[in-house]
Structure 1
Amino acid sequence: MKNITYLIFLSVLLYSCQETKHKEYSASQKQVEVNHPGKKLMETNCYVCHSPSATMEDRIGPPMIAIKKHYIGENTSKDEFVKAMQAWIENPNEKDAKMYGAVKRFGVMPKQAYPSETIAQIADYMFDYDIEQPEWFEEHYNSKNGGKQSQGQKKQHKKKFQKQQANATIDTLGYGERGLQYALATKAVLGKNLMGTIQKKGVNEALTFCNERAYPLTDSMSTVYNVAIKRVSDKPRNPNNQANAAELKYINSFKNDIKNAVEPTPIVDRQQDVVKVYYPITTNTMCLQCHGKPNENIEATTLKEIASLYPSDKATGYESNEVRGIWSITFPKTNNK
């Protein structure tokens, strides 16, 4: 457990690392970038698989900066880029892929039903602003392109990257944003390990990972942040993850958001001494390999493994983009509002 906590602590340091401001930015430019809704939407929806803090060896998808460079040329308009992003998210497939190396290494990304406006905001931000890139990326990219910087790359390096809350630590954020960051950091660690297992060892090994390591990893994140982090559901795989009455109410609220194509935001419940923050866990096509419909999405061998590991399982029958549960984050009250 100590080893896991130490490794997670190092991951969180990388995840939370902040870049310094560039002298060329005016105060108004900084404020516009920090407040652009696409920045937060990208961090919330994309960074589990496309994290700028992932190493070359541990990444489970290409970083967002690589996607930007493959889709934006010298003559690409913003409208063309936005439409290209929306078309890919709506129907990711090998035939239409522009990143052949990524598809070969990671496979086609799972289909996820995001609101069209969410993708438009993310693409708008990606087109207009520099986005974070891994430390290894520039050398890697230049080596693939004859050691020369593209025109777009030269423009991009005129600016420096910022995190969503410049010069702020997670403890100084508002309650909702703070809880969201705890959830996303934990989601990133679990997602990286789970998807890496699926890619390297297959779905059945991923079930074993969930059974044996999901709880210790989540507990380790709780230890790192000194908060209580849980995942609960109205249809749990593990009975210990059964949602209580209050959590069931929030699950239904998020289901209504997803049904109406509304981008979910954290729900904050201020209690006497603590704050509870809730955020949805939604399914994508990859999730359906273990949580979809038996004998349609879930193979017979996987069903057998689920029955062996989870005799009381209720977590099947889902379709893509459904609420499978919620993050439940609890931490002490501060002076934050």
Structure 2
Amino acid sequence: MRLCVMVFLGACVVPLASAAQNTVEVAGRSADAALDQARLTAGFQALESACFSCHSPDASAGNRVAPPMAAIKKHYIQPGTSYEAFRDRLVSFVQDPSAENARMPGAIDRFGLMPKMPFDQVMVEEIAYYIYHSALEAPGWFEQHFQAEQQQRRRLGQPTLVTDADYLRRGREVAMSAKSTLGSNLQQAISAGGPVAAIDFCHDSAIPLTEGAAAEQGVAVRRVSDRPRNPANAATAAELAYMATARSALAAGTEPAPAVQRVKQEVVAYYPIVTNGLCLQCHGRPGVELQAETQAALRARYPDDQAVGYGVNELRGIFVVSMPAQ
């Protein structure tokens, strides 16, 4: 599954109000900070849900699976770099990650090239806005911002959800957080013991880790497929219908869009999981991407496994996020 999180890539910055009122130092120049607090908030939320489990701001050097955000900012933003130029470079790389398009060859040598991730352009622009306008390199930056975010969440409580767009946005945060957590653990397992170690991690920890993280937020999240590895992850009829639509989009050369439907007292959102090269180590073609040792581990752990034979950019499954209707 497309679980690996971006190799470069909540609800507030600290103090967001003062950041919007004060002058900040950006790319070696002073900029009067008429900053958009809502965009800063959205950017930090996106970083927290989709990026920090790999691009951890406080992980030790030996435990990193991707470079920290401060290093990314240093390589992408030079004195005189405008926000628009930085944003465009970041969006370009995320939409088409390649060695030729990268600005951190050392990170590629150490961590590998990031896979293409299903982040829409709006989300990447929110991340770019936050990175550009925030002092990621400052000592204690993450702890300060994280504590402020938690205080604001306690003060505001759960977000108010009204429209389908509200639920899709909230579901995306949950799905990206689950993807990020699973991806970070999966990368660590592969680094430590290759695909066999990743299979062991998925068998023992993937479902409880996913469900546990969502339960803390008062929602439920599952990963399902029409070709499940674990029979417990088999898709329902409604989920299969969404998967058919998503596959049609991929076949037409477009990104499959998430979808939402209301079921009794719940709102259920669907988010596609599309394969990349890393996925094929455990989900590829036997004898091609799947090595004999990996196939043996799959037979031992998953005797009813159907989740092999995939190529790149194919629909592997979906995240299903169930939220109480408000």
Per the normalisation by structure 2, the TM-score is 0.72
**Same amino acid, percent of matched pairs:** 33
Match of 2:39 among 30, 33, 45: 33
The whole-number CA distance in structure 2 between the counterparts of 1:202 and 1:248 is: 31
Residue 326 of structure 1 aligns to a residue whose secondary structure is strand
Residue 202 of structure 1 aligns to a residue whose secondary structure is helix
C-alpha deviation, 1:130, in angstroms: 3.2
The equivalent residue for 1:109 is 113
The equivalent residue for 1:21 is 16
Letter in structure 1 aligned against 2:160: T
Residue 138 of structure 1 aligns to a residue whose secondary structure is coil
Match of 2:77 among 72, 75, 78: 72
The whole-number CA distance in structure 1 between the counterparts of 2:241 and 2:125 is: 29
Residue 323 of structure 2 aligns to a residue whose secondary structure is strand
For the pair 1:130 / 2:134, whether they are aligned, the reply is yes
Letter in structure 1 aligned against 2:92: Q
The whole-number CA distance in structure 2 between the counterparts of 1:51 and 1:265 is: 28
The whole-number CA distance in structure 2 between the counterparts of 1:188 and 1:285 is: 17
- Would you say the 8 A contact 1:233–1:242 is kept in 2? yes
- Would you say the 8 A contact 2:268–2:321 is kept in 1? yes
Greater CA drift, 202-211 or 192-201: 192-201
The equivalent residue for 1:212 is 204
Structure 1 residues 184 and 79, CA gap change in structure 2 (3 angstroms): closer
The equivalent residue for 1:320 is 312
The whole-number CA distance in structure 2 between the counterparts of 1:125 and 1:228 is: 30
Structure 1 residues 90 and 229, CA gap change in structure 2 (3 angstroms): closer
Match of 1:55 among 55, 59, 63: 59
Residue 23 of structure 1 aligns to a residue whose secondary structure is helix
The whole-number CA distance in structure 2 between the counterparts of 1:85 and 1:298 is: 32
C-alpha deviation, 1:302, in angstroms: 0.8
Structure 1 residues 84 and 172, CA gap change in structure 2 (3 angstroms): closer
C-alpha deviation, 1:244, in angstroms: 0.9
Structure 2: gaps spanning 5 or more residues? 1-9, 22-32
Aligned pairs (5 A) from 1:170-189: 170-173=158-161, 174-189=166-181
C-alpha deviation, 1:65, in angstroms: 3.5
- Would you say the 8 A contact 1:229–1:329 is kept in 2? yes
The whole-number CA distance in structure 2 between the counterparts of 1:317 and 1:277 is: 27
Q: How many residue pairs get matched? A: 291
Letter in structure 1 aligned against 2:313: N
The whole-number CA distance in structure 2 between the counterparts of 1:208 and 1:72 is: 40
Letter in structure 1 aligned against 2:243: I
* Cα shift readout 1:44-84 (whole Å, capped 9, x = no counterpart): 765553355x6336542113342121122225465487357
The equivalent residue for 2:282 is 290
Residue 36 of structure 2 aligns to a residue whose secondary structure is helix
The equivalent residue for 2:301 is 309
Letter in structure 1 aligned against 2:244: N
C-alpha deviation, 1:256, in angstroms: 3.4
Structure 1 residues 229 and 79, CA gap change in structure 2 (3 angstroms): closer
For the pair 1:332 / 2:324, whether they are aligned, the reply is yes
C-alpha deviation, 1:227, in angstroms: 2.5
Residue 231 of structure 1 aligns to a residue whose secondary structure is strand
C-alpha deviation, 1:243, in angstroms: 0.5
Residue 268 of structure 1 aligns to a residue whose secondary structure is strand
> What RMSD in Å do the two structures reach over aligned CA positions?
3.9
- Would you say the 8 A contact 2:50–2:177 is kept in 1? no
The whole-number CA distance in structure 1 between the counterparts of 2:210 and 2:123 is: 29
* Cα shift readout 1:179-237 (whole Å, capped 9, x = no counterpart): 22222222222222111111122211110110111122123224322332211001111
The equivalent residue for 2:272 is 280
Structure 1 residues 73 and 178, CA gap change in structure 2 (3 angstroms): same
Structure 1: gaps spanning 5 or more residues? 1-15, 142-159
- Would you say the 8 A contact 2:49–2:180 is kept in 1? no
- Would you say the 8 A contact 2:229–2:306 is kept in 1? yes
Per the normalisation by structure 1, the TM-score is 0.70
Letter in structure 2 aligned against 1:109: L
Structure 1 residues 91 and 266, CA gap change in structure 2 (3 angstroms): closer
Structure 1 residues 256 and 286, CA gap change in structure 2 (3 angstroms): same
- Would you say the 8 A contact 2:274–2:314 is kept in 1? yes
The whole-number CA distance in structure 2 between the counterparts of 1:119 and 1:320 is: 23
